[in-house]
Amino acid sequence: MHDHRETLIDAAREQFAAHGFAATSLRQIALAAKVTPALTHYYFKDKAGLLDAVVEDRVAPLAQGLGVAVKAAGPDPVAALRAFVHAYTTTASKNPWLPRLIVREVLSDGGALRTTFPERFAGGMAAMLRGVVQAGQERGDFRADLDPSEVAMSVLSLCIFPFLAAPLVNMALGIDTSPKHADALISHHLAVLMAGIAKSP
């Protein structure tokens, strides 16, 4: 049996990312999902309920996956940092709707996720990265003169920007942000990061 609920969530994430929450109607989402508008009301009641489902069923698992990847790397801070960069870059390249949704609904004034996303996801991600950097400084792997929060900002900036600005990055720099180029991006990010934060021998 076809799962209309899942189809509607996938259609909603694409429509919200492409047009924004405020500019997207339930009818548009139903049309994209190839179902009747009545089904959107049946499963989600309203557009806000559908956005909640996108966050819970699509955004949350991706965010949780980053934490799982870092924990799986074990106690080595360098391995943990490498795991984060690999997991984030891979995730963003496979889910291009996510950076677009962040731009529209988190970074823009009045975005529907302006409060929710930092509280639920970004804050925890930043704290996790700060912890990795601090552990690396304590072990002597990373430079002690760098501020852990600023290092975390640099890591996030390197990882996130190519996908937030994908059209510009592709047209102006000729860089491919699709999954087939993810390994090259990961190698570049890690080379730049480690050259800047690793403690000199």
- For residues 53-70, give the mean pLDDT: 96
Is 28 part of a structural domain of the chain?
no
Is 1 part of a structural domain of the chain?
no
Residue 127 belongs to domain spanning:
58-197
Phi/psi region, residue 111 (left: phi>0; alpha: psi -120 to 50; beta: rest), is beta
Is 9 part of a structural domain of the chain?
no
Is 36 part of a structural domain of the chain?
no
User: Is residue 200 very low, low, confident or very high in pLDDT (cuts 50, 70, 90)?
Assistant: confident
pLDDT in tens, 112-171: 999 999 999 999 999 999 999 999 999 999 999 999 999 999 999 999 999 999 999 999
172's enclosing H/E stretch is helix 166-173
How many residues appear in the chain?
Answer: 201
Helix (H, G, I), strand (E, B) or coil at 142: strand
Alpha carbon 60 to its chain's center:
10
Tell me how many domains the chain contains. Answer: 1
Nearest to 47 by CA among 97, 1, 105, 98: 105
> Whole-prediction pTM value?
0.90
Backbone φ and ψ of 95, nearest 5°: -130, 65
Contact 152, 126 (CB under 8 A): yes
Burial letters 32-54, b for 16+ CB under 10 A, else e? bbebeeebbeebbeebeebbebb
Is 52 part of a structural domain of the chain?
no
User: Which token pair is 180?
Assistant: 């087939």
Cβ neighbours for 156, distance < 8 A, ≥ 6 positions apart:
125, 126, 129
Average per-residue pLDDT in the chain?
Answer: 94
Q: What are the residues facing 198 on neighbouring strands? A: 142
